[in-house]
Amino acid sequence: MSTFAAARLVAEREIKVKLRDKTFLFSTAFFLLIAVASTVLPALLDGGPTTVAAASSSPSAEALRDAGLEVRAVASDAEAERLVRDGDVEAAVVAGPRVLALEDAPGDVVQALSTAPPVQLLEPSSLDPFVEFIVPFALAFVFFMTSFAFGLQIAQSVTEEKQSRIVEILVSSVPVRALLTGKVAAMTLLAFGQIALIAVVSYVGMQIAEVDAGVVGQIGPAIAWFLPFFVLGFVMLATLWAGVGALAARQEDVGGVSTPLQMAVMIPFFAVVFLSDNATAMKVLSYLPLSSPVAMPIRLFNDEAAGWEPIASLALLTVAAVIFLAVGARIYEGSLLRTNGRTPVSIAWRSRALVD
Amino acid sequence: MTDVLDVDAVSRSFGDRQVLKDVSFLVTAGRMTGFVGANGAGKTTTMRIMLGVLSADSGQVTWRGTPLDRPTRQRFGYMPEERGLYPKMTVSDQVVYLGQLHGMTRADARRNTAALLDRLGLGERAGDQVEKLSLGNQQRVQVAAALVHEPEVLVLDEPFSGLDPLAVDTVLGVLRERAAAGAPVLFSSHQLELVERLCDDLVIIADGSIRASGSRSALRASYAQPRFAIQVAADAGWLRDQAGVTLVELDGPRAVFDLAPEADNQSVLHAALERGPVHSFGAVTPSLAEIFREVTR
């Protein structure tokens, strides 16, 4: 049997097991729920245009209508006041003109009736500040959570094989490389599948919520760039996760052994979140392999990166991924069959005890 | 000399400690070979080297005259000392998966799995997660995992430990079947009585070197001292004064004694008959435990 066929068998098993795993299904459902909530809910909570009561004959009525407000025609000012008090409308315009409201001055009504000096924005943003904040944060969060959760699962699944000793049977029948390749491929596929599902659900959510086409148009390319960055960024660390899984002898050790890797995932996430307003820092972060999967798509989203930049950053990431893959594979192979206790990295690096 | 698994001058050290010293023995096709030795004698290390899980510092293992490589080993059945199965996978999925890893098609693996599980009395548990099974039943699954791909060669590390007598017989039946079909079967055990009952050939290892190997009967013959047991009617203490007799054990009318090479056992029998009735008299074959003690001393 070829290494490829063996790797495929290994990957199939991993995927089958994960798809039956309640924790995995639950976390996927949870992510989807968040995706739906963050796209659909704001639109639902936004109650639509303000309703204003005004005498139909009043000149204000037209101005209000022009401003996109819903105007309810009333016969008298007294009736308008009653409607406001009853909560049927949010405001009323009575003779004067005077604006009636219950507690807060209705800004949009006042604005519709005022004459404001013309404003010219030199760098207009088509996005609402909420979207501007939430999209980068969501990208960073999704990458962080997914790469953390799936990475840890790679480590745990390696440790499970090592701890339960089935690894001896596996290694005696298929090459170690096939075992590693199958596992990493399966987890990458699952992680990518989960992210793609979240992306699709968010997109559908935005359609349902009738989010501005302009917003969707700006998020789209950022997400399209995010996907290759995500896959490479994930694969880059995947064999290292497998390596630390093999260093640990028991599930209880996985947390400790994988601490440096956890940091390698966590620090870039916080760096990107906290430094997102600092253009210089973001520029640096968008080229560093550990943070570029998040930082570069954010810069693209904010329209801060030139067209060649994501390609250069992706190339750097690819080089780093190849190096990291080799390092992880070597640690994995050097420690997989050392069953007596935790294996130090130095010993794993040097020992090539396996016959192939 | 074709269908022989040949372990040839294998040595292996862990750090400064040499755990295998020039280990050589044969496992012949169609025969059950018992591999015995104390804990830490080197049984498991030898088997792991045979399966390629560990490399030898020197020496080699050949099957049908060719050094082992991965494609050949893929046709081996292996049961590691430390049992290993995926705790959360079902019995059947697990065995099918291992069959596939050994190169079977899914359909073949399924068919063999079903037949084997039935044979091992696990047919009804096929859909259960392995961790829900008793240890004895997990052990049977392990046997199924080693056999599912109809291996050419079987290497089993302590296959009977943790099995009740009934399960031992079931597993033994399956193993004998494989041997009868022409596979060499090597199994290690520290239960000497069991090995004595089961094996055709025997390999004894101590401190990393082979102390004795060969067919069970030949080993017995070569290590048999002229030892006899006798039961008479009265006290047998007089044997002490017989020429050439060394008493090993005396318990009233029953005695076990060794005889000097030049002495004649018939004259001892005559002497006994002169003193009264003799209920039994015969040569004693040494048990495996005795041979083991002798060669590993």
CB atoms A170 and B101 under 8 Å:
yes
Kindly state whether residues B60 and B169 are assigned to the same domain. yes
Summarised one tens digit per residue, pLDDT across range B136-148 is 888 899 999 999 9
CB atoms B52 and A172 under 8 Å:
yes
pLDDT value of position A44: 65
Task: Work out the mean pLDDT of chain A and round it to a whole number.
Answer: 82
Chain A residues touching residue B10 (CB < 8 angstroms): none
Query: What percentage of chain A has pLDDT greater than the value 90?
Result: 10
pLDDT value of position B63: 92
CB neighbourhood size of B275 (10 A): 13
Kindly state whether residues B13 and B159 are assigned to the same domain. yes
CATH of the domain at B107: 3.40.50.300
pLDDT value of position A46: 62
CB atoms A337 and B53 under 8 Å:
yes
CB atoms B53 and A168 under 8 Å:
yes
Cβ of residue A337 closer than 8 Å to a chain B Cβ: yes
pTM for this model (two decimals): 0.78
Kindly state whether residues B145 and B208 are assigned to the same domain. yes
| Burial class for A102, CB neighbours closer than 10 Å (0-12, 13-18, 19+) | exposed
Kindly state whether residues B148 and B18 are assigned to the same domain. yes
Last residue of a domain, one of B221, B244, B259: B221
Distance of CA A193 to the CA centre of its chain: 13
Residue A60 reports pLDDT greater than 80:
no
Per DSSP, what are the bridge partners of residue B283?
B228
B35 with B188: CB under 8 angstroms? yes
Query: Choosing among A172, A340, A352, which should be mutated to test the B contact, i.e. which has the most B CBs within 10 A?
Result: A172
Give the phi and the psi of residue A269 in degrees, each rounded to 5.
-60, -50
Q: Using pLDDT thresholds of 50, 70 and 90, give the confidence band for residue A42.
A: low
B1 with B18: CB under 8 angstroms? no
Kindly state whether residues B123 and B229 are assigned to the same domain. no
Average pLDDT over residues B75-94: 88
Chain B residues touching residue A172 (CB < 8 angstroms): 51-53, 73, 76, 78
Cβ of residue A171 closer than 8 Å to a chain B Cβ: yes
Last residue of a domain, one of B192, B221, B250: B221
Residues of chain B whose C-beta is under 8 A from some C-beta in A? 48, 51-55, 70, 73-74, 76, 78, 80, 82-89, 93, 97-98, 100-103, 145-146
pLDDT value of position A356: 43
Among candidates A1, A168, A354 on the partner chain, residue whose Cβ is nearest the Cβ of B84: A168
H or E segment at B279? strand B278-283
Chain A residues touching residue B145 (CB < 8 angstroms): 169
Q: Using pLDDT thresholds of 50, 70 and 90, give the confidence band for residue B9.
A: very high
Query: Choosing among B101, B108, B131, which should be mutated to test the A contact, i.e. which has the most A CBs within 10 A?
Result: B101
Residue A81 reports pLDDT greater than 60:
yes
Kindly state whether residues B14 and B161 are assigned to the same domain. yes
Kindly state whether residues B212 and B229 are assigned to the same domain. no
Kindly state whether residues B237 and B106 are assigned to the same domain. no
pLDDT value of position A123: 66
* Range with the poorest average pLDDT among A267-271, A319-323, B117-121, B291-295: B291-295
Chain A residues touching residue B73 (CB < 8 angstroms): 172-173
Number of domains chain B is built from: 2
CATH of the domain at B232: 3.30.70
Kindly state whether residues B181 and B260 are assigned to the same domain. no
> Cα separation of B175 and B169, whole Å?
10
Left (φ > 0), alpha (ψ -120 to 50) or beta: where does A201 sit?
alpha
Task: Work out the mean pLDDT of chain B and round it to a whole number.
Answer: 88
Residue of A nearest to B69 (CA): A356
* Range with the poorest average pLDDT among A21-30, A140-149, A175-184, A332-341: A332-341
Q: What stretches of B84-208 adopt beta strand conformation (E)?
A: 153-157, 185-189, 201-206
Among candidates B55, B82, B93 on the partner chain, residue whose Cβ is nearest the Cβ of A355: B55
Handedness of CA B106, B76, A175, A331 (dihedral sign): positive
CB atoms A164 and B98 under 8 Å:
no
Kindly state whether residues B155 and B200 are assigned to the same domain. yes
Task: Report angle CA B269, B271, B273 to the nearest 5 degrees.
Answer: 70
User: How many Å lie between the alpha carbon of A179 and the closest alpha carbon of chain B?
Assistant: 10
Residue A344 reports pLDDT greater than 60:
yes
Residue A69 reports pLDDT greater than 80:
no
User: How many Å lie between the alpha carbon of B92 and the closest alpha carbon of chain A?
Assistant: 13
Kindly state whether residues B26 and B111 are assigned to the same domain. yes
Among candidates B76, B84, B103 on the partner chain, residue whose Cβ is nearest the Cβ of A166: B84
The better pLDDT of the pair A349, B130 is held by B130
> Cα separation of A244 and A314, whole Å?
26
Give chain B's end-to-end CA distance (angstroms, integer).
32
Q: State the count of interchain CB pairs (< 8 A) between A and B.
A: 71
Q: Using pLDDT thresholds of 50, 70 and 90, give the confidence band for residue A111.
A: confident
* Range with the poorest average pLDDT among A203-212, B45-54, B209-218: A203-212
Cβ of residue A172 closer than 8 Å to a chain B Cβ: yes
**Cβ-count burial B30-69 (b if 16+ within 10 Å, e if not):** ebbbbbbbeeebbbbbbbbbbbbbbebeebebebeeeebe
* Boundaries of domain holding B159: 4-221
Query: Choosing among B53, B90, B104, which should be mutated to test the A contact, i.e. which has the most A CBs within 10 A?
Result: B53
Query: Choosing among A166, A167, A177, A339, which should be mutated to test the B contact, i.e. which has the most B CBs within 10 A?
Result: A166
Average pLDDT over residues B248-256: 87
Q: Which amino acid belongs to residue A115? A: T
Residue A280 reports pLDDT greater than 80:
yes
pLDDT value of position A355: 41
**Cβ-count burial A160-169 (b if 16+ within 10 Å, e if not):** bbbbbbbbbb
Kindly state whether residues B163 and B286 are assigned to the same domain. no
Cβ of residue A173 closer than 8 Å to a chain B Cβ: yes
Last residue of a domain, one of B184, B204, B221: B221
Among candidates B88, B101, B145 on the partner chain, residue whose Cβ is nearest the Cβ of A174: B101
Tell how strand B201-206 and strand B32-36 pair up. parallel
Q: Using pLDDT thresholds of 50, 70 and 90, give the confidence band for residue B1.
A: very low
